[in-house]
Structure 1
Amino acid sequence: MSGYQHILVTIDLSPNYQKVLDKAVARAKANQAKLSIVHVNLKMQSLYNQMYEVFTHELEDKPLLAAKRELEQMLASVDYPLEKQILISGDLVEQICEAVRLCDADLLICGHEHHLFRQNSSVAHQLVENINCDLLVIPLEK
């Protein structure tokens, strides 16, 4: 194999995540890999516990539509084709692992200050223990 084939990047909508997104795009370009985005939405965690392919489903729910609009704004400047755009909430480890399976990703990229690492130190450990691909963690400034 000559490199990664499908890269999945987790982002939230904070300004720090432009760095994560930029690194994911650079890695995808270098590998000529597919690139998919997972938007981790903790604001909706108490409302939903599932995954949505944001741009392929008709969303009627107001919180989901708001999250979709925010994500579209963040992704408007991405200079690389996106394979899938996924919105997740609920159990982060379970949902991220499912997104990796859905995309058949061989690299997951996420930021160090991401909620999945801040929320509970065991979440990062669970992700490493359960993920079926390589993991790249980008450190972010506080």
Structure 2
Amino acid sequence: MSTYKKILLALDLSAESEQLQDKARELATTNQAELHIVHVIEPLSFAYGGDVPMDLTSIQEQLDEHAKKKLELFCDSLGYPVTTKQVATGQTESEIHRIAKELEIDLIIVGSHGRHGIALLLGSTANGILHGATCDVLAIRIKEEAE
């Protein structure tokens, strides 16, 4: 019996996201698990505090389309069947928790930039995902491009 039947890989779609491919594929293969992939875009109104006196709808739509294309390329190069892939809009940790609960996920995989110090151990996003998750969370250490 496998430990994880449903795995959610949460990506930021940066160049470093490719570092998560091998481990996610290996875990999914070993457990014969469904692999779900999500990328969350925070609304521009969050980034600018909601006080920007202009319509950001078209810019938000462009960001969504760009993210969908990058997510599609990532999934194509993964080498494992992806059950669902989605670009969600909202607060990153909340959206990942919502999707994990909705899909009855057993394991969430996130990348973690190895910052120094206890407070920065996982980084704010990975830390937020860890502390609000109702399932296991695997934080994979991301090596910076310069390393």
The interval holding the TM-score normalised by the smaller chain is 0.7 to 0.9
Q: Quick check: 1:34–1:83 contact (8 Å CA) kept in 2?
A: yes
Q: How far has the Cα of 1:139 moved from its partner? A: 0.5
Instruction: List per-residue Cα deviations over 1:106-135 (Å, max 9, x = no partner).
Output: 000000029xx97x9555444323211000
SS of corresponding position for 1:77: helix
Say yes or no: does 1:9 pair with 2:22.
Answer: no
SS of corresponding position for 1:74: helix
Q: Quick check: 1:17–1:111 contact (8 Å CA) kept in 2?
A: yes
Q: Distance in 1 between matches of 2:80 and 2:104?
A: 19
Q: Distance in 1 between matches of 2:35 and 2:106?
A: 11
What stretches of structure 2 of length at least 5 have no aligned partner?
A: 47-60
Q: Quick check: 1:11–1:21 contact (8 Å CA) kept in 2?
A: no
1:107 counterpart residue number: 107
Larger Rg: 2
**TM-score with structure 1 length normalisation?**
0.75
Q: Distance in 2 between matches of 1:70 and 1:6?
A: 23
Q: Quick check: 1:9–1:21 contact (8 Å CA) kept in 2?
A: no
Say yes or no: does 1:46 pair with 2:48.
Answer: no
How many residues are treated as equivalent by the alignment?
Answer: 125
Aligned pairs (5 A) from 1:113-128: 113=113, 123-128=125-130
Q: Distance in 1 between matches of 2:14 and 2:124?
A: 23
Say yes or no: does 1:133 pair with 2:135.
Answer: yes
How high is the sequence identity, in percent, across the aligned residues?
Answer: 31
Q: Quick check: 1:39–1:86 contact (8 Å CA) kept in 2?
A: yes
1:51 counterpart residue number: none
Q: Distance in 2 between matches of 1:63 and 1:25?
A: 27
What stretches of structure 1 of length at least 5 have no aligned partner?
A: 49-60
Q: Quick check: 1:108–1:135 contact (8 Å CA) kept in 2?
A: yes
- After superposition, the CA RMSD in angstroms is 2.5
Give the number of the structure whose residues are more often helix, by fraction. Answer: 2
Q: How far has the Cα of 1:71 moved from its partner? A: 1.3
SS of corresponding position for 2:139: strand
**TM-score with structure 2 length normalisation?**
0.73
